[in-house]
């Protein structure tokens, strides 16, 4: 009599794993031909939403950044309101240090100046602030609204545990990392770079990773978030080549993940004085189940604890709020200033001048226009696409998109998370990793561009 309920429960957990996971895979991973180009369902949904908002987008974006600034200031001045933020689980959105509050305020001021074309022209010019607000901000708002409410199907019901368990042997041999790092990697590649970084930092703080392992994971597996890839590839005008660019990004990411842990500066990362040896998490090896069976058990266990509908909607809404209120003002500020420097000053041309003969040697057209894009990615991952959007050659734009999405260490998000973390990593180390990733990724991107675009 006890076996029937157990069998029924096992079938229910299997359904709870399969149904949302297959739906999530269909939305994020399955190519479809739509409106004359190959894309994914997430892209179709985001495009439809953006078209629906239409001319109201400037007012909508201005409302978002203004509400973000006002609620953050109010929280800083009112302890009672801070308590309300904690009760509703949005403390990380509105209770931020003074430095990040200042950036948020500056981003909001930029947005107002751009919308009403006030102040210096370099802020609201059509090639600077207008691009940052309307193109970057508008695309982020629509893509991440859709992604936030669809991603849990991919990440919260066992698919990541299933794939992660299957990849455990590969991660140990190929990347010299614990098997559980596969889950962190998938969180970044399938969800968002920040998600994977936060998971990795948490695992380090709980003692599951050494400092070197955590930094290697955080700086090598947070590069190909599907929403970000879709956004950048569409923005730079390569929507019809989405899968070719994405395949190139994955290839570069894998090469960097194999090579960089064995090279400086990652090779020389040392533990902090207070660090303890990582916890022994190899008990999985004592399990006599086969790898596929272990993957199914892990997936069904995760699915059994997956969010119900109320939790699902609440978590997704908080994720949307975090992106809209936290990231959008920052992108507007950094995007505007970065584009202004590139458009109105010779700084980037001077700094990138030594790259021009290198790009020409590799046979890239428009080398002088493309050269700055390979440097500004350290500030923000959107800037290379924003600057490279005007490059005439599709082949060169292909290389710009692939490299910018694999340079990884952009200070506006991933870099900021790492600098503020318990890993105690500094800007020079991040810059070194950025340079190494660029050096490895660039020739692979050129080879792939010539293969796919000719």
DSSP 225-265: -HHHHHHHHHHTT-GGGHHHHHHHHHHHHHHHHHHGGGSTT
Rg (CA), the chain: 22
Whether 347 maps to a domain, the answer reads: yes
User: Three-state SS for 93?
Assistant: helix
Q: Does residue 1 belong to any structural domain of this protein?
A: no
Direct distance between the N- and C-terminal alpha carbons of the chain, in angstroms, rounded to an integer: 66
Q: Which of 410, 195, 165, 424 is nearest to 296 (CA)?
A: 165
Q: Please provide the average confidence, as pLDDT, over all residues in the chain.
A: 83
- Looking from the CA of 143 toward its CB, the CA atoms found within 13 Å total 23
pLDDT of residue 285: 46
- Statement: residue 379 has pLDDT above 70: yes
pLDDT of residue 373: 92
Confidence of residue 401 (pLDDT cuts 50, 70, 90): very high
Residues 220-251: tens digit of each pLDDT:
876 666 767 887 888 898 988 988 998 999 89
* Least confident piece of the model among 44-53, 171-180, 314-323, 326-335: 171-180
% of the chain at pLDDT higher than 90: 26
Query: Considering only 204-208, 406-410, 431-435, which range has the smallest mean pLDDT?
Result: 204-208
Gap between the Cα atoms of 268 and 259, Å rounded: 14
* pLDDT (average), residues 16-31: 85
Whether the per-residue pLDDT at 52 is higher than 60: the answer is yes
Lowest mean pLDDT among 57-61, 154-158, 190-194, 437-441: 190-194
Q: How many domains does the chain have?
A: 1
| 353 within some domain | yes
- The answer to whether residue 381 sits within a structural domain is yes
d(CA 388, CA 237): 10
Q: Is 67 exposed, middle or buried (0-12, 13-18, 19+ CB in 10 A)?
A: middle
Mean pLDDT of 396-412: 89
* Pair 423, 211: CB distance under 8 Å: yes
Structural domain includes residue 121 = yes
d(CA 24, CA 159): 9
Query: Is the predicted pLDDT of residue 287 greater than 80, yes or no?
Result: no
The residue ranking higher by pLDDT, 396 or 376, is 396
Q: Which SS3 state, helix, strand or coil, does residue 32 take?
A: strand
| Residue 186 lies in domain | 6-453
Task: Please tell me the predicted confidence (pLDDT) of residue 1.
Answer: 37
Please report where in the chains the tokens 């199907």 appear, as a residue: 153
Quickly state the pLDDT bin for 435 (edges 50, 70, 90).
very high
> Other CB atoms closer than 10 Å to residue 443's CB: what's the count?
14
Report CA 322 to chain centroid distance, whole Å. Answer: 14
According to DSSP, the residues that pair with 37 across neighbouring strands are 34
> How does residue 194 score in pLDDT terms, banded at 50, 70 and 90?
low
Distance, CA of 223 to CA of 188 (rounded, Å): 7
Report how far residue 170's alpha carbon sits from residue 412's, in angstroms, rounded to the nearest whole number.
32
pLDDT at 57 over 60: yes
Contacts of 391 (CB under 8 A, 6+ apart): 366, 369, 370, 373, 397, 400
CB 174 within 8 A of CB 420: no
158's torsion region: left (phi>0), alpha (psi -120 to 50) or beta? left
Omega cis (within 30) before 208 = no
User: Residues 6 or more apart from 398 whose CB is under 8 A from it?
Assistant: 238, 241, 244, 245, 248, 445, 448, 449, 452, 453
| Mean pLDDT for the stretch of residues 386-398 | 91
| Rounded mean pLDDT, 178-206 | 70
User: Does residue 318 contact residue 89 with C-beta atoms inside 8 Å?
Assistant: yes
> For position 69, what pLDDT does the model report?
92
Q: Are 189 and 254 in contact (CB under 8 A)?
A: no
């Amino acid at each position: 009599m006890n076996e029937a309920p157990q069998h029924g429960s096992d079938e229910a957990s299997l359904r709870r794993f399969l149904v949302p996971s297959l739906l999530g895979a269909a939305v994020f991973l399955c190519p479809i031909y739509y409106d004359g180009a190959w894309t994914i369902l997430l892209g179709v949904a985001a495009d439809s939403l953006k078209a629906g908002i239409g001319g109201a987008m400037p007012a909508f974006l201005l409302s978002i950044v203004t509400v973000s600034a006002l609620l953050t200031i109010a929280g800083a001045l009112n302890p009672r309101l801070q308590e309300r933020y904690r009760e509703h689980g949005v403390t990380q959105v509105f209770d931020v240090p003074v430095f990040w509050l200042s950036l948020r305020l500056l981003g909001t001021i930029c947005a107002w100046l751009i919308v009403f074309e006030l102040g210096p022209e370099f802020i609201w010019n059509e090639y600077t602030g207008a691009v940052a607000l309307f193109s970057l901000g508008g695309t982020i708002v629509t893509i991440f609204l859709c992604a936030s409410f669809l991603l849990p199907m991919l990440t919260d019901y066992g698919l990541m545990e299933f794939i992660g368990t299957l990849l455990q042997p590969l991660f140990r041999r190929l990347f010299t990392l614990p098997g559980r790092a596969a889950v962190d990697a998938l969180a970044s590649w399938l969800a968002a770079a920040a998600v994977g970084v936060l998971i990795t930092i948490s695992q380090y703080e709980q003692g599951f990773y050494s400092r070197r392992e955590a930094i290697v994971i955080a700086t090598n597996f947070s590069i190909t978030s599907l929403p970000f890839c879709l956004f950048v590839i569409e923005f730079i005008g390569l929507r019809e080549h989405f899968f070719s660019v994405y395949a190139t990004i994955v290839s570069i990411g894998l090469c960097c993940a194999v090579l960089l842990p064995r090279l400086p500066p990652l090779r020389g990362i040392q533990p902090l004085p207070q660090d303890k040896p990582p916890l022994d998490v190899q008990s999985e090896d004592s399990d006599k189940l086969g790898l596929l069976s272990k993957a199914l058990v892990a997936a069904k266990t995760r699915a059994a604890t997956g969010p119900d509908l109320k939790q699902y909607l609440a978590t997704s809404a908080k994720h949307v709020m975090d992106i809209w209120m936290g990231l959008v003002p920052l992108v507007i500020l950094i995007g505007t200033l970065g584009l202004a420097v590139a458009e109105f000053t010779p700084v980037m041309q001077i700094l990138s001048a030594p790259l021009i003969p290198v790009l020409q040697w590799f046979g890239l057209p428009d080398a002088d226009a493309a050269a700055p894009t390979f440097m500004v990615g350290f500030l923000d991952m959107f800037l290379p696409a924003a600057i490279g959007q005007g490059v005439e050659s599709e082949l060169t734009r292909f290389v710009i998109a692939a490299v910018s999405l694999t340079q990884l260490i952009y200070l506006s998000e991933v870099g900021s998370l790492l600098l503020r973390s318990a890993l105690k990593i500094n800007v020079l180390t991040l810059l070194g990793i950025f340079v190494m990733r660029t050096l490895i990724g660039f020739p692979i991107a050129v080879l792939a561009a010539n293969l796919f675009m000719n």
